[in-house]
Chain A
């Protein structure tokens, strides 16, 4: 199984490398310059696909967290925590690219727009998830705690969305890039970038899982060697 995972991550890694080399061409050259936002709109081809990666990561964390609590198999915990980690990475990219876009368009690095607030709160929840990972004492209870937070965090998302929409409901004049009907060249570039980012997400996730599995294997081998030594040591003494 590990060699299988490694092959997958290599294949997807090469695919996403090629894709990422072509993506800037699609975004900058193939797609026309948008008439209102001009060049600032170009970040949309990286911003929205990163958001897809982020949602995918958080959704996978939710699914594998449930599977872990249900089946208690370590591999589900590994998948859940790796998905959360890669999701957090994509979430950070979404926040940073969002700020870069907001500065020329909205005139401020940060606006308390519902969408931005939702992503920020999700980011906070998954940072808390990482902290739970890092500061736990016992690995088994830590895996259960993570799974619980992964489930609660995901359940919270619709409520956060609803409340921030209501909170900022009095600002309807927000132009969202997605709502504008896209001409074919922009749509092609956007779809291409979306697929590349999903492949990139999967490649990083699988790589991360295979590293985590190797680490796990190493730990159990170390424990095995330690046990052998103790047995041998006591045998020699006798």
Chain B
């Protein structure tokens, strides 16, 4: 089985489990909705501060619910030693990482698609007219998060703190990506053309590709028995 076939098999397995149960996606979406609402209560609405905070709130909701989804994605591999089963096959371990990362990124993307209209309604932002320019920002922001998060999720389930350690490992590393995603999203929502946001996009692309490659190489050492 070639590398890509193995990765696709893992991806397809994850997506199919998710399609049948929908437990990750539903909890992630509900949690993201709660985060958005809590921020709505925490900020004074009506004086425009909520609108300017919307990109930050969106990414915080995505990050927190994404972290929740990541933990689930590796907990289910631990049940019945499914991960061990995969490691015993001759398939490349990098393929497992790549499939997992793709599955996590896709799950998060679906959640973002559901969250954006809600954001538009609650915060009264015309997202529909900016949606095309928002796609590259969301794509690379989510890819960077999934790349780093999948590696650290595989690490943190093997520690005593389990999922409690995941945000502490992931969030500091994600700082450049979060910063770039929030700034680029604000720019897009303010109607700036993508060319003006090139520097932020460059950081997002560099972050996601660098860590996708680095984590792919390092994943072998994380799951080694």
Contact = CB atoms under 8 A, between A and B. Distances in A.
B19 interface: no
B54 to A, nearest CB: 18
Interface residues of A, number: 31
Given A69-B218, A152-B211, 15 more contacts: A131-B161, A132-B165, A135-B160, A135-B161, A136-B160, A137-B158, A141-B224, A148-B155, A148-B218, A148-B222, A152-B148, A156-B176, A163-B203, A164-B176, A166-B200
Contacts of A141: 158, 224
Interface in B121-176: 148, 151, 155, 158-161, 165, 168-169, 171-173, 175-176
B148 A135 contact: no
Interface of B: 148, 151, 155, 158-161, 165, 168-169, 171-173, 175-176, 179-180, 183, 199-200, 203, 206-207, 210-211, 214-215, 218, 221-222, 224
B210 A147 contact: no
Of B161, B169, B180, B207, chain A has the most CB atoms within 10 Å of the CB of B169
A109 interface: no
A149 B214 CA distance: 11
Q: Is the interface of B mostly helix, strand, loop or mixed?
A: helix
B80 to A, nearest CB: 20
A131 B156 CA distance: 11
Contact of B173 (A131, A145, A152): A152
Interface string A89-103: 000000000000000
Interface string A128-148: 100110011110011011011
A163 B180 contact: yes
